[in-house]
Amino acid sequence: MATIVTFHAHPDDEAIATGGVMAKYADEGHRVVLVVATKGEHGEVAEGFLDANETLAERRVRETEEAARRLGVARVEFLGYTDSGMMGTPENEAADSFWQADVDEAASKLAALLTEERADVLTMYYDNGNYGHPDHIQVHRVGGRAGELAGTPKVYEATVNRDYLKRLMAAAPTPPPETPDAPDPDFLDTLGVTEDRITTEVDVRKFTDAKRAAMAAHASQIGETSFFLTMPEDVFREGFGVEWFILRGAPPGTRESDLLEGL
């Protein structure tokens, strides 16, 4: 059996980006470990949602643990940095923010976990974090360096196939304007990468129920009326039933359908 470590920026990122492969490999008996750089302290939350004296970080940690349980994750760890907010904000400049972290120092922390777990696979993000969030970009930098330090056999950059999503959206009815979180079609031009850059495409349609259940566990950020949770099951299955990756160091023309191929 293999060990897969997935590295993410904030609570809920794991469910959206790699929830399918996490559920798939856990179901197949492999060990799945989730590492989150921050606790998402600066996320938005509805007035009155939190309990008295409860912080958003505390709630998001519990949500992450529940989401991980629903995906079959064996271990959850937080790297210990603070949510960086968006570029140009005071949170982004804070000394304890993940964006300001020394890459080698943060990578050493992650590499220690990879070594302890004898990880066969590490997933992180593509170099622009898929949509430019500073913490996602830092996950790419830190994850890549950690994989080098630990000598992890396979390191993947989780990404989005923008060509696939464009085809899907072109064939689908336009979401009503009141649907929360409905994507702007123009946003797809900057999201992820084009199809030709992807090395690895994993079909996780069998696990989209677990993936959506994990999203729902992050109730502070993904409400019941959100785009993710109100989408018809068949549409969700097609939109979120494939997860895409770029294998670092892969020779040109590499095409895989399994993160464990060749191990």
Name the percent of the chain in helix, strand, coil, to the closest 5. Answer: 45, 20, 40
Asked if the structure places residue 142 within a domain, the reply is yes
HSE (CB half, 13 Å, CA atoms) of 7?
A: 34
CATH of the domain at 47: 3.40.50.10320
Asked if the structure places residue 262 within a domain, the reply is no
d(CA 31, CA 29): 7
Q: Assign residue 10 a region (left: φ > 0; alpha: ψ between -120 and 50; beta: otherwise).
A: beta
Asked if the structure places residue 221 within a domain, the reply is yes
160, 130 in Cβ contact below 8 A? yes
Residues in the chain: 263
Phi first, then psi: give them for residue 81, nearest 5 degrees. Answer: -95, 165
Highest mean pLDDT among 76-90, 135-149, 189-203, 226-240: 135-149
Asked if the structure places residue 256 within a domain, the reply is no
Asked if the structure places residue 56 within a domain, the reply is yes
Residue labelled with tokens 């999201």: 191
Asked if the structure places residue 100 within a domain, the reply is yes
Residue 250 neighbours by CB under 8 Å, 6+ apart = 199
HSE (CB half, 13 Å, CA atoms) of 50?
A: 18
pTM: 0.93
Nearest to 18, CA basis, from 210, 225, 228: 210
pLDDT of residue 179: 58
d(CA 86, CA 42): 9
Least confident of 72-76, 90-94, 113-117, 210-214: 90-94
Per the structure, the count of domains in the chain is: 1
Asked if the structure places residue 168 within a domain, the reply is yes
Q: How confident is the model at residue 185 (pLDDT cuts 50, 70, 90)?
A: low
Residue 196 neighbours by CB under 8 Å, 6+ apart = none
Least confident of 91-105, 153-167, 175-189, 199-213: 175-189
Range of the domain at 212: 3-247
Whether the predicted pLDDT of 79 surpasses 60: yes
Nearest to 248, CA basis, from 154, 164, 177: 154
How far is residue 168 CA from its own chain's centroid? 21
Helices (H) and strands (E) in the chain — how many of each? 9, 7
Q: Packing angle between helix 56-71 and helix 13-27, nearest 10 degrees?
A: 30
